[in-house]
Amino acid sequence: MRRRTFLGSTAVAGGLGLLAACAPGSDSGSGGSDGGGSGPAAGDVETDPSAMGDVTLKVWDQEVRGAQNDAIEALIKAFEKDNPNITVKRVKQSFDDLQQQTGLALSGNDVPDVLQVNNARGDMGEFVKAGQLTDLSGYAEAYGWADRFSDSVLSKARYSADGVTFGEGSLWGLPQTGEVCGIYYSAAKLEKLGAEPPTSWDELFALVEKAQKAGEQPLVLGNLEQWPALHVFGPLQANFVPTDEITTLAMGNAGAEWTDDPNIQALTQLADWGSSGAFGDSPNGLAYDTAWADYTKGTGVLLIGGSWLGPDMEAVMGDDLRFMAPPAGADGKVATTGGTGLPFGIPAQAANPDAAAAYIDYITSDTAMELIADNGGMPVLRTAELAPKSGVNKDIYEAFDAVSNDGVLLPYLDYATPSFADTAGAALQEVIGGQADPAAAAETLQKDYGDFTKKA
């Protein structure tokens, strides 16, 4: 499975230059270029579905894979049983298809009531700016979502009403599932090296050197596509750079610098791993899927990557495969790149916003989390409690829980600007390959980030 943030396409397709209609009950000036489709105050929210009359609720999602689809279908069936006056009309489509249709739907007259929206700047940020999504703050207060979800999780779906500030402000969606980047390791190979799982970054650096001296490839990375290096650099960066600075950079908010010493130190460590052969002979020429498949066949000791790789690698490696969150970083807390599944939002022109909020509340409830876990997904809440009794998914669930509740779940770096995925992917590839020194790469990253934040 490939995790990648797709940016920019829907904003163009959706014709966001057009003024969006206002949310039901909003003032006429709340939408359009001023941004921020308004939402009801908590006291005006109807939270009793039985009082909403007969409703046909139109839902668009991209939960099309086996376990995802099974969980949503089961939740819809249970929701309709508990609320017989509400009929859910679900349209499921692939992520790419949903991306193509969302902008068109939000600028048209026939919009769904519930919609999964990619929370990156090029998608959710643009829709917020155009006033095409409903501010869920009142619903969050009425349903107690801020008590249910951690701040670090909710921040991934927060924007200021003008779409300029990402990670703060109003809430525009609510997620069901989680994902986290961490460190996979072979228990057998650590035992052979006489090593334990690292409890600090210094121990991790020492383990890399020890493995290399023993003739093992310490780290596995397939970076042909460029974006995989972001999932290695993000956790590594947290050892050098304070989490608030990383968050500012990754959210594309003004006030940070890619060219400061801590970021250059992080890029230097990545360059050292590349030049020393810690990633193997040619990580930039190796495809992502080939690399993790090679790891399951015995290449490498550690693989820094996303939680979504666990089930496929465990199918080959069995109990030998383990996973851990990275050691505590610069702030003394466990911090690593991660995020959520696509949040569920309510379009500003939705016909049944209260019923839509009731549905979103239901599919993110404690019961829903149990059902998602039972179907093999990773729920965004109660992950440690609902973890399997053994296996790599147990490690992954517990790591996500620790990071999202007691540590810092850092944004994906490619959230920063509509072009940052390409800029950072190319820059990190050049750092690993020795074509660019860390200071020059930092200047490249700063230009993209700086140009964007000046315009915002």
Position 5 confidence tier, pLDDT thresholds 50, 70, 90: very low
Percent of the chain whose pLDDT exceeds 70: 92
Q: Which tokens in the block code for residue 73?
A: 């279908």
Look up residue 418 and give its amino acid.
P
Residue 95 has φ and ψ, to the nearest 5°, of -55, -45
Q: Given pLDDT bands bounded at 50, 70 and 90, which one contains residue 429?
A: very high
Q: Are 278 and 212 in contact (CB under 8 A)?
A: yes
Query: Are 127 and 117 in contact, with CB atoms under 8 Å apart?
Result: yes
330 φ, ψ (degrees, to nearest 5): -60, -30
Which among 400, 452, 404 has a CA at the least distance from the CA of 424? 452
CB 161 within 8 A of CB 35: yes
- pLDDT 10s digits, 360-402: 999 999 999 998 888 878 899 999 899 999 999 999 999 999 9
Using one digit for the tens of pLDDT, what is the confidence trace for 79-104?
999 999 999 999 999 877 888 888 88
Assess whether pLDDT exceeds 70 at residue 127.
Answer: yes
pLDDT score of 27 more than 50: no
Does pTM top 0.75 for this prediction?
Answer: yes
* Dist CA 115 CA 350 (whole Å): 10
Query: Which domains does the chain show, CATH number per domain?
Result: 10-177+342-382 (3.40.190.10), 179-339+409-455 (3.40.190.10)
pLDDT of residue 110: 84
Whether 304 contacts 181, CB under 8 Å: yes
pLDDT tens-place string over residues 232-274: 999 999 999 999 999 999 999 999 999 999 999 999 999 999 9
Residue 456: which pLDDT band, with cuts at 50, 70 and 90? low
Torsion of CA 280, 284, 290, 293, to 10 degrees: 40
